[in-house]
Chain A
């Protein structure tokens, strides 16, 4: 049985993603069981500084250098990773369940012919068996999946699932100047484009009223907007509302939208998918949802299980009375 844990470091524009540190921390629990080491695998062009900042989190930083890694190109990523993994045979390879890992991790699993469980919130190893918990159906059910890790395996974990602790290691940096045997010219990175600023900056709002798919109809938004205005709150939303074109992208809270930090966040008809919740940093979260099992009630401080179209008019009236 192989022993080491590889953590594939995610970085963009020279910044390492938090999820990579989370995985390095979790990696130690697993490596301890196996008697192996935690190895941060950094594919980068200009990665010296990133490698330095990883040192205290890993037993070793494997810095694979090539200018191709400047921007993500899955085929080159997979070739480099396959080659290193083939040589060093780690027990497990960990990725964050992020947009870039969607591009790489499943392709790598296929290339190496090894199993992958993605979208995990937790995992453990028991002998040769890896077990992982995956939130299914928008988080209303947990699935437990397993694979035989005799020949290695890949796990991709949702950002925020584990806390970061700095183990204060002083991992050596092993730098490999990687050269490629194959060229891939059927895919090419062109450029990054920042999200447009838009009219309103919800990240600065002190109070937010956010709507989700539970609002059902574009016409219903006016009434919620009235309520938001009446308490001096900014209107925001979950992704499906933007997808439907009912509100502009700049109002979207979540992993592919904005991270907000208001004093008050009122979630109306939002189920509470992790991609939404990860964008809310607030001390007072209130959720109104018809479904008592909606995952949003796990992060909310106060909840009302009811129809938002009954609660909101009543709440608006009550608050007006108190003024």
Chain B
């Protein structure tokens, strides 16, 4: 049973100070650390679990610049068998439908049963690419998978996680696209041996793909307006905590 996993390279921004580049459309990248998108890590793990159970290939595929090879190698180190990088210098210039087209153009010629994507990318949080990809491949899709149960290679039972933790269970026949929500499994770490082996594996690079026209334009990015803000207590931890303790006492909370 063969799977394809779409993986995206994203910056780790939770703790970083973000600066907007002079073109006003992307971040300054110098001080950013990039990694595999969180949800894609769970998607990859799900493909590797299927491979353990049913054999077959796991192909990882990504649209991005040469630096993307780092996350691709990490996926190979964990056990992916094949890798494709569709070259694009600046993916912030592509809309979701264009990314899905680029992916579909390569995936359609592969021999696959399931295509996994993340449920959302942590940078734009669009939740668009997976479902659009299914449409381009003309196969069914299920989004927000949190559990997958499978007795044979033709179909699976997928639990979608809805608001409030409610689960909606579906049956889906393959080939299909499944978008994976974080928490679906326990992603493995790459072993030293895996990393060594991966360094020798080939990444197929699609050098000069035909870039589809965007329907949606990114006009600019900006810092959010200041707006309402918390009263910030400043000082040493002793000072701030003492002030906070007083506030809590005044309010009768403690």
Q: Is the CB of A117 within 8 A of B14?
A: no
Q: Is the CB of B229 within 8 A of A297?
A: yes
Q: Contacts A136-B124, A297-B232; is A187 near B140 (CB within 8 Å)? A: yes
Residues of B within 8 A of A12 (CB): 162, 166
- CA gap between A256 and B18 in the complex, in Å: 28
Whether A177 is near chain B, meaning CB under 8 Å from some CB there, is no
- CA gap between A239 and B122 in the complex, in Å: 14
- Nearest A residue to B184, CB-CB: A243
Task: Tell me which of A134, A195, A271, A307 contacts B165 (CB under 8 A).
Answer: A195
Task: Tell me which of B38, B224, B244, B253 contacts A263 (CB under 8 A).
Answer: B253
- Nearest A residue to B217, CB-CB: A146
Residues of B within 8 A of A107 (CB): 131-132, 134-135, 141
Tell me how far the C-beta of A118 lies from the nearest C-beta in chain B, rounded to whole angstroms.
Answer: 5
Tell me how far the C-beta of A246 lies from the nearest C-beta in chain B, rounded to whole angstroms.
Answer: 11
Provide the B172-189 mask, 1 if CB < 8 A to any CB of A, else 0: 110010010011001000
Provide the A293-306 mask, 1 if CB < 8 A to any CB of B, else 0: 10101111111111
Indicate the size class of the contact surface on chain A: 35 or more
Partner-contacting stretch, out of B80-88, B196-204, B234-242: B234-242
Whether B231 is near chain A, meaning CB under 8 Å from some CB there, is yes
Q: Is the CB of A145 within 8 A of B171?
A: no
Provide the A246-263 mask, 1 if CB < 8 A to any CB of B, else 0: 000100100111110001
Main secondary structure of the interface of A (DSSP, over half): mixed
Q: Is the CB of A187 within 8 A of B230?
A: no
Provide the B210-254 mask, 1 if CB < 8 A to any CB of A, else 0: 000001111111111001111111100110111011011101011
Q: Is the CB of A290 within 8 A of B169?
A: no
Q: Is the CB of B222 within 8 A of A303?
A: no
Q: Is the CB of B230 within 8 A of A140?
A: no
Q: Is the CB of B165 within 8 A of A291?
A: no
Task: Tell me which of B42, B124, B169, B247 contacts A143 (CB under 8 A).
Answer: B124
Q: Is the CB of A74 within 8 A of B231?
A: no
Q: Is the CB of B169 within 8 A of A190?
A: yes
Tell me how far the C-beta of A69 lies from the nearest C-beta in chain B, rounded to whole angstroms.
Answer: 14
Main secondary structure of the interface of B (DSSP, over half): mixed
Q: Is the CB of B237 within 8 A of A145?
A: no
Q: Is the CB of A190 within 8 A of B140?
A: no
Query: Of residues 186 to 210 in A, which have CB atoms within 8 Å of B's CB atoms?
Result: 186-195, 207
- CA gap between A277 and B24 in the complex, in Å: 28
Q: Is the CB of A302 within 8 A of B218?
A: no
Q: Is the CB of B179 within 8 A of A102?
A: yes
Q: Is the CB of B254 within 8 A of A231?
A: yes
Tell me how far the C-beta of A121 lies from the nearest C-beta in chain B, rounded to whole angstroms.
Answer: 9
Q: Is the CB of B222 within 8 A of A298?
A: no
Q: Contacts A102-B119, A256-B164; is A141 near B125 (CB within 8 Å)? A: no
- Nearest A residue to B20, CB-CB: A141
Whether B168 is near chain A, meaning CB under 8 Å from some CB there, is yes
- Nearest A residue to B182, CB-CB: A243
Partner-contacting stretch, out of B1-9, B70-78, B153-161: B153-161
Whether A119 is near chain B, meaning CB under 8 Å from some CB there, is yes
Among A194, A299, A315, the one with the most B-chain Cβ atoms within 10 Å of its Cβ is A315
Chain A to chain B contacts (Cβ below 8 Å), 18 pairs = A74-B141, A99-B160, A106-B128, A109-B128, A119-B126, A119-B127, A136-B125, A144-B222, A145-B217, A213-B14, A257-B165, A264-B253, A271-B14, A297-B229, A301-B231, A302-B232, A314-B242, A317-B241
Given contacts A102-B179, A189-B169, 4 further A-B contacts (CB under 8 A): A102-B131, A257-B165, A284-B251, A284-B253
Residue numbers of A with Cβ under 8 A of B are 12, 71-72, 74-75, 97-100, 102-103, 105-107, 109-111, 114-119, 131, 134-147, 184-195, 207, 213-214, 231, 239-240, 242-243, 245, 249, 252, 255-259, 263-264, 271, 284-287, 290-293, 295, 297-307, 310-311, 313-315, 317-319, 322
